[in-house]
Amino acid sequence: MTSRHARVLVAAILLLGTAAISGLQKSAPASDATARAVTAAEAFLATLNETERAKALIDLNEKTRTVWSNLPTGATLQVGAKERNGLKLGVMSPAQEKASLALLRAVLSADGYTKAMEIVEADQVLENRAARPAGAAVRFGRAEYYVALLGKPSRTTPWMMQFGGHHLAINVTLAGGEHVLAPTHTGTQPASYSVEGRLVRPLGEENDKAFALVNALTPEQQKQAVLGVAVRNLVLGPGADGKTIAPEGVRASMFTPAQRDMLLGLVREWVDILGSEAAAAKMKEVQAGLGETWFAWAGALENGKGAYFRIQGPALLIEYAPQGQSDTAPDHIHTIFRDPTNDYAARVTARP
């Protein structure tokens, strides 16, 4: 696929935007957003034959829901591990692909959908630059993104949608009116690229808002926030389900109202991947725990250089980790969004 063709395909995609776990109990009443997602899921499934459907629709259980990866296709198969659930875009017909992306659009917000597709396009740019031979073991690009439904799409009982490939793992559990994004991985390589003369930075707002916040701290707050060690990658990234780390940095209880607003604006870059109702509910929870939320930083304080940061609260963990040297603008970024109390909608599945 040429770079021009990839840009045309992604532009077209963006225009599309204009068996439950055994023992699960009742969830919140269904919302209009859930109904739209179910309708889109059923429309996608209707485009598949029996073999394709068996790949795209699987049981939802503790084992299947944790199958996701940030690595490119082929990276973990070399050691015999299953990388992802689902059916990949590269084997779909145009009608199936359109329906799969309409499903993604129905589950995410408009901004969340755009962010996801910009990450996909970045990976196509990476593939075009690498010019790997046909049949290469490790594969990048738009064709290598997968769509999976875990559990039968339902307006009342929990089910899950996964969309992922290199640098992207969207894991959304829908349980009646509740939509849970955690855990979800967003990343990008390259960090910026151009489409028809327009500069695209899939994670640019995350970067810029974080630097604005750290530079709005007082010298004493910065002293507390900045860690004394270098952090080169995510601490609680893929494969770290159920693990915890002690809070570090400066507590948001020490922030001024303006600083707190900046922190909440930064958090929204992840939370707003979901639609407005789910995002509003999550932000209310984040705000309730703001006094026990910590902001930690490692690396340069000058925007345009590499820096790691972490936001950690009672029901929130966000990490942003550029890869490579810290004294240059990062071109390869990993991030993670988790909820230590509700990854994979654990609170819903445990509800009596």
CB 202 within 8 A of CB 122: yes
* Nearest partner of 294 among 320, 328, 318, judged by Cα: 318
CB 170 within 8 A of CB 192: no
Q: What is the pLDDT of residues 193-234, one digit of tens each?
A: 999 999 999 999 999 999 999 999 999 999 999 998 999 899
pTM of the model: 0.90
Dihedral of the alpha carbons of 148, 151, 153, 159, in degrees to the nearest 10: -90
Percent of the chain with pLDDT over 90: 81
Higher pLDDT among residues 260 and 139, named by residue: 260
Res. 179: pLDDT tops 90: yes
Mean pLDDT in residue range 92-105: 98
Model pLDDT, residue 329: 82
CA 134 from centre of chain: 29
C-alpha–C-alpha distance, residues 238 and 61, integer Å: 18
* Nearest partner of 252 among 307, 318, 305, 335, judged by Cα: 318
Res. 23: pLDDT tops 80: no
Model pLDDT, residue 10: 44
Q: Tokens 């960090």 label which residue?
A: 191
CB 144 within 8 A of CB 122: no
* Interior/surface letters 241-255, b for 16+ CB within 10 angstroms, e for the rest: eeeeeebbbbbbebb
Please provide the average confidence, as pLDDT, over all residues in the chain.
Answer: 90
Res. 18: pLDDT tops 70: no
Model pLDDT, residue 167: 97
Among the residue ranges 5-19, 116-130, 288-302, the one predicted with the least confidence is 5-19
- Sequence-ordered strand ranges (E) for the chain: 57-58, 87-88, 146-150, 159-165, 168-175, 178-180, 184-188, 193-195, 198-200, 250-251, 294-299, 307-313, 316-322, 333-338
Res. 68: pLDDT tops 90: yes
Q: Is residue 262 within a helix (H) or strand (E), and if so which, with residue range?
A: helix 257-271
Helix axes 32-46, 94-107, angle to 10 degrees: 170
CB 237 within 8 A of CB 262: no
Res. 24: pLDDT tops 60: no
